């Protein structure tokens, strides 16, 4: 569990002990600059993590509701449901529809920084974005434009928008032509042609919820009756995180120390490995191959590393 965000997590990424994480995966909890670590864990070993509060706890910042949300995310398997906050700045940004995919993402600036330097493929995922104002609307516009121009956003299933805090101070800036943060988000994201759900109360604000990343999730922009009220929501499947942790342990035991993602070849020894995938024993016959990721799947007579 991280103690803070700030700057510098991107310097830690290259020194992560991925072999140790595969052998004994543990949930990483944090947000903001910790997004660099969330992305690295997902890209290198498919490990789910938690976008949640820091360990430097205080009731003023987090409070009992945040504590309970973190406890449920860590200790229960029921779905995590995040309801849309209609008062949030990003709530005005919506592209109707539903989408299901693996939820990845976090802080927009961290995601932009990883483009071309370790950002995993976002194809088939739901991208979660949140941000806190630094220099103004231009920073959000530049970040989303860069991600678009590099092709990083191609193949997304949907976008889930959290808090974009501090941009209300731009409302009276005459140089912006009346644009606000919702206008920038709408202009950059609606052209992707995928469902967009804005207004999720997750980010740099008070009393943050805990959202599992790297697990199956659904965004639903349609009004639904839930607990007696009409809500738009993000639902995250907790069971997939448990399965991914088992995959990491099984893959580490079966193939030994990780190699470079580009190094592929016959695995040493003559005995085919046995993998435990979702409580099913799979014996791989014939040629076996190893790779650096986890989430192994059987294709024909060879073992390949999912996502590589």
pLDDT, position 237: 66
| Distance of alpha carbon 176 from alpha carbon 136, whole angstroms | 10
Q: Is 36 a catalytic residue?
A: no
From-to residues of CATH 3.50.30.60 in the chain: 9-241
Is 0.85 surpassed by the pTM of this model? no
Which of 32, 62, 90, 267 is an active site residue? 32
pLDDT, position 103: 94
Q: Is 204 a catalytic residue?
A: yes
As its CATH architecture, domain 9-241 has 3-Layer(bba) Sandwich (3.50)
Which of 130, 131, 267, 292 is an active site residue? 130
DSSP per-residue string spanning 5-68: -SS-HHHHGGG--HHHHHHS----EE-GGGHHHHHHHHHHH---EEE---SS--TTTTHHHHHH
Per-residue pLDDT for the chain (308 aa), expressed as one digit of tens each? 777 777 788 888 888 898 998 888 888 999 899 999 999 999 998 889 999 988 776 777 788 888 898 888 888 888 888 888 999 999 999 999 989 999 999 999 999 999 988 899 999 999 999 999 988 899 999 999 999 999 999 999 999 999 999 988 877 777 787 899 999 999 999 999 999 999 999 988 888 899 999 999 999 888 532 222 234 566 776 555 555 555 555 555 554 443 333 222 333 343 333 333 333 332 333 333 232 333 333 233 333 333 33
Which of 204, 245, 267, 292 is an active site residue? 204
């Amino acid at each position: 569990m991280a103690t803070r965000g700030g700057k510098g997590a991107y310097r830690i990424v290259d020194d992560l002990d991925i072999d140790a994480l595969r052998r004994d995966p543990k949930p990483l909890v944090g947000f903001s600059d910790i997004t660099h670590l969330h992305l690295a864990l997902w890209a290198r070993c498919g490990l789910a993590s938690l976008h949640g509060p820091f360990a430097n706890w205080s009731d003023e910042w987090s409070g009992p509701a945040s504590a309970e949300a973190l406890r449920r995310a860590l200790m229960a398997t029921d779905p995590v449901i995040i309801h849309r906050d209609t008062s949030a700045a990003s709530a005005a940004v919506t592209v109707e529809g539903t989408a299901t995919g693996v939820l990845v993402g976090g802080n927009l600036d961290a995601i932009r920084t990883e483009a071309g330097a370790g950002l995993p493929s976002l194809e088939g995922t739901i991208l979660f974005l949140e941000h806190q104002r630094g220099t103004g609307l231009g920073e959000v516009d530049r970040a989303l434009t860069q991600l678009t121009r590099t092709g990083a956003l191609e193949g997304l299933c949907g976008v889930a928008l959290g808090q974009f805090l501090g941009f209300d101070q731009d409302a009276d800036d005459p140089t912006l032509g009346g644009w606000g943060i919702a206008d920038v988000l709408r202009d950059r994201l609606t052209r992707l042609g995928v469902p967009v759900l804005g207004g999720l109360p997750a980010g740099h604000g008070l009393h943050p919820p805990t959202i599992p990343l790297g697990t199956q999730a659904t965004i639903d922009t349609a009004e639904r009756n839930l607990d007696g009220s009409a809500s738009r929501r993000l639902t995250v499947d907790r069971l997939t995180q448990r399965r991914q942790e088992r995959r990491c342990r099984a893959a580490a035991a079966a193939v030994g120390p990780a190699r470079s993602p580009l190094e592929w070849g016959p695995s040493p020894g003559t005995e085919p490995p046995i993998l435990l995938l979702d409580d099913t024993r799979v014996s791989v016959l014939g040629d076996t191959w190893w790779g650096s990721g986890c989430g192994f799947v059987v294709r024909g007579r060879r073992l390949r590393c999912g996502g590589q």
